Structure 1
Amino acid sequence: MTKPIILCVDDEAVVLNSLKIQLKSAFQDRYLYEMAESANEALEIIEEYRSDGVDVIVIVSDWLMPGIKGDEFLIQVHEKYPKVVKILLTGQADQSAIERACEQAELHSYLAKPWNSEDLITAIQSGLSTRDN
């Protein structure tokens, strides 16, 4: 059986690389780690894995990206996959976008960039424990 997925979405490759290193260090081989440089790419990844019967269980998304903003992306994901744990990781989101993501996407956490690795791991762990209940 394929492991569940943690998906990170950010238009900066350096941020994605940093996230992947931190996640692998914390969770090792418990999960698969996918990176997407846009919301559209992330949606394709989610659909591809879902068609193979594999769950994306956590999404860590930037807000300010070309095309679809992070809050809009997370709302779209929530409409199709409400159990996915959604975390917004950004230095750019305005308060109304965060509130919209909380209300319409059941945003689990908001973390500001630059982020603390321990805070990110804690947010993912608490989201997964909530998801499993």
Structure 2
Amino acid sequence: MEKPIILCVDDEKVILDSLKIQLKNAFQNNYSYETAESVDEAIEIIDELQGDEIPILVIVSDWLMPGTKGDEFLIKVHEKYPKIVKIMLTGQADDEAIDRAKQKANLYECIAKPWNCEKLINIIKSGLTNHG
């Protein structure tokens, strides 16, 4: 059986690589870790995994990305897959975008960049416990 997924979405590869390392160190082989460098790529991954019935438990998404902003992306995801825990990781999001994501995408948490690894892991653990 496939492991559940934690998906990270950011247009900066170095951030995705860093997130993946931190998640693997914290959660070991309990999950699979997917990354996407754009909202379009993320939606493709989500649809493919859901089609294969592989659960996505958490999405950690940047806010400021080319094309679609993180709050819009998470709202789209929430409309189709409301059970996924949604976390925004950003240095740029305005308060309106965060409020919109909380109201329309059930945003679990918004974390500022540069992030504290321990805080991020604890928020993900909390999200998995409370939404799992």
Query: Please, what TM-score do these two structures have when normalized by structure 2?
Result: 0.99
* Structure 1 residue ranges (4+ consecutive) displaced by more than 6 angstroms after TM superposition: none
Give the equivalent residue in structure 2 for 1:116.
116
Give the equivalent residue in structure 2 for 1:19.
19
Partners of 1:130 and 1:74 in 2: how far apart?
19
| Structure 1 residue 26 displacement after superposition | 0.0
| Structure 1 residue 61 displacement after superposition | 0.2
| Structure 1 residue 124 displacement after superposition | 0.4
Give the equivalent residue in structure 2 for 1:62.
62
Amino acid paired to 1:82: P
Amino acid paired to 2:56: V
Partners of 1:124 and 1:86 in 2: how far apart?
9
Deviations 1:37-68 (A, max 9, x none): 01110000000111111011100000000111
Give the equivalent residue in structure 1 for 2:71.
71
Give the equivalent residue in structure 2 for 1:29.
29
Deviations 1:9-36 (A, max 9, x none): 0000000000000000000000000000
Give the equivalent residue in structure 2 for 1:91.
91
Structure 1 residue runs of 5 or longer lacking an equivalent are none
Structure 2 residue runs of 5 or longer lacking an equivalent are none
Give the share of equivalent positions with the same residue, in percent: 66
Aligned length: 132
- Give the CA RMSD over aligned residues: 0.5
Amino acid paired to 2:25: S
Amino acid paired to 2:60: V
Deviations 1:53-112 (A, max 9, x none): 101110000000011100000000000000000000000000000000000000001000
Partners of 1:105 and 1:51 in 2: how far apart?
21
Query: Please, what TM-score do these two structures have when normalized by structure 1?
Result: 0.98
